[in-house]
Amino acid sequence: MPLACRLFFCRPTHGFERRSSMQPLSIRNVSIGEGSPKIIVSLMGKNAAEAIAQGLAALEAGADCLEWRADFCENVHDVRSMALDAASLRSAFGDALLLFTFRSTPQGGQMELPVPEYAELTEAMIRTGAFDIVDVESWIGDDQVRALMAAAHECGVAAIISHHDFEKTPSVDWMVSEMRRFQDLGADIPKIAVMAHDASDTLRLLQATEEMGRVYADGPLITMAMGRYGALSRLTGEVFGSAMTFCAVEEASAPGQVDISLAHSLMEGIHSIHSR
């Protein structure tokens, strides 16, 4: 039995509901995949106190979801301590949506963990009951991904499977195929982030998003083109099919993130036009 299973059990959570194929995910009264993209702000504090301060500011600014970035945490190798911090975050943020992410260095994060330690930490955080959504990086291998999908669904936690490419934007076919593969592995929300070096890169990302949503998706997607050329992709999800977007309050967690107040304003304008 994995250590995470011995340390923790699935505490009661809000869980999530997908009403039918191609319908949004409803979590804590937030409908992911309906209307404007829901705004995620990353918490990058080195300890719980810093993360809580960042999160309260983000909620005040209008964030829909808070992402706890464990790769910034000074106690990340101590699973029990991380679980206590997770409980503190849940207490501080009340009914806000919480997403757990350990972002590995090649995927844009601050550090790397061996796959067994990554899996142990992620499963332990799933089983705390503090989080509504978990991000699982696809590189850890299909067997580990499936195991974490099973743990998440057992505990009523929605699961993202993610891939980040900081060098390029792959072909439309590759991006669609990868998101379909994530669905097959059990993702509730497939996520693809790529680097845009020009406008044509952003167009390919948007085309892949639209095709995936229209033809293959059985739930919401998260896609984005990173960098200044890709900023548009972070704002037009309601039109092309990306259900959530990452915004900055004080510090961006990835290149091309838009300030949360500007994002709110621009996405409200897009919504008013798109919903006519």
Greatest C-alpha distance within the chain? 54
> pLDDT tens for residues 225-268?
999 999 999 999 999 999 999 998 876 556 668 889 999 999 99
- Which residues, 6+ apart, have CB-to-CB distance to 138 below 8 Å? 145, 161, 162, 163, 178, 182, 185
DSSP assignment, residue 97?
E
Percent of the chain with pLDDT over 90: 84
Predicted TM-score (pTM) of this structure: 0.92
pLDDT score of 60 more than 50: yes
**Domain CATH for 156:** 3.20.20.70
Q: What is the phi/psi pair of residue 194, to 5°? A: -130, 165
Residue 5 lies in a domain: no
- The predicted model gives 112-132 an average pLDDT of 98
Alpha helices by DSSP H, the chain: 3-7, 48-61, 79-93, 115-127, 142-154, 172-185, 199-211, 237-240, 260-274
Q: Which residues does the annotation place in the binding site?
A: 42, 67-69, 103, 234, 253, 257
Residue 40 lies in a domain: yes
Residue 126 lies in a domain: yes
Among all residues, which ones are annotated catalytic? 164, 191
The count of structural domains within the chain is 1
Residue 204 lies in a domain: yes
- Which residues, listed in sequence order, are joined to residue 189 by a DSSP beta bridge? 160
Q: Which residues does the annotation place in the binding site for 3-dehydroquinate?
A: 42, 67-69, 103, 234, 253, 257
Residue 219 lies in a domain: yes
Residue 52 lies in a domain: yes
Long-range pairs, 210-214, Cβ under 8 A, ≥24: 210/240, 210/241, 211/172, 211/176, 212/175, 212/176, 212/179, 212/180, 212/241, 213/240, 213/241, 214/241
Residue 26 lies in a domain: no
- pLDDT range class, residue 13, cuts 50, 70, 90: low
Percent of the chain with pLDDT over 70: 90
Residue 19 lies in a domain: no
Which residue range is the domain that position 191 belongs to? 36-274
